[in-house]
Amino acid sequence: QRQLFITLATSTIISKMIEILDDLYLTQSHLKDQGLEIAINKFIAVLKAEGLEEIPADSQEFDPNLMECLEVQKGNQNQVLEVKKKGYKLNGQVIRPAQVVVGKQSN
């Protein structure tokens, strides 16, 4: 029971940290600051050490177990065309699916 509580608390904290990471990525996309990039990489290293892993999505085949389709556009059938928000697993469990744009061939 104690371990379950610790796991739940860790998941909650990591989920909140992912939101901060999203903000850092957004800031970096506008500033292109080397110091900020170093800080982001250190932050990611800490999260990885706690069991966080990014879900690979860009140009991958859409997987509804790991991804959430936000939009469908003309493109290769079921291929992820764009990642709107990165997805993550914590110790092998999806805590946030990747939010993606998926391709569909036009007929």
Neighbours of 98 (CB within 10 A): 25
- Tell me: pLDDT of 1 over 90: no
Model pTM? 0.88
Collapse the DSSP code of 32 into the 3-class scheme (helix H, G, I; strand E, B; otherwise coil) and give the result.
Answer: coil
Is residue 3 very low, low, confident or very high in pLDDT (cuts 50, 70, 90)? Answer: confident
- Tell me: pLDDT of 4 over 90: no
CB 36 within 8 A of CB 57: no
Task: Tell me the longest C-alpha to C-alpha distance in the chain.
Answer: 55
- In the 3-class helix/strand/coil scheme, how is 56-94 assigned residue by residue? CCCCCECCCCCEEEEEEEECCCCEEEEEEECEEEECCEE
Give the pLDDT confidence of 61-107 residue by residue, as tens digits: 999 999 999 999 999 999 999 999 999 999 999 999 999 999 998 76
Give the pLDDT confidence of 15-50 residue by residue, as tens digits: 999 999 999 999 999 998 999 999 999 999 999 999
Name beta bridge partners: 15.
none
In the chain the domains, ranked by start, together with CATH numbers, are 2-104 (2.30.22.10)
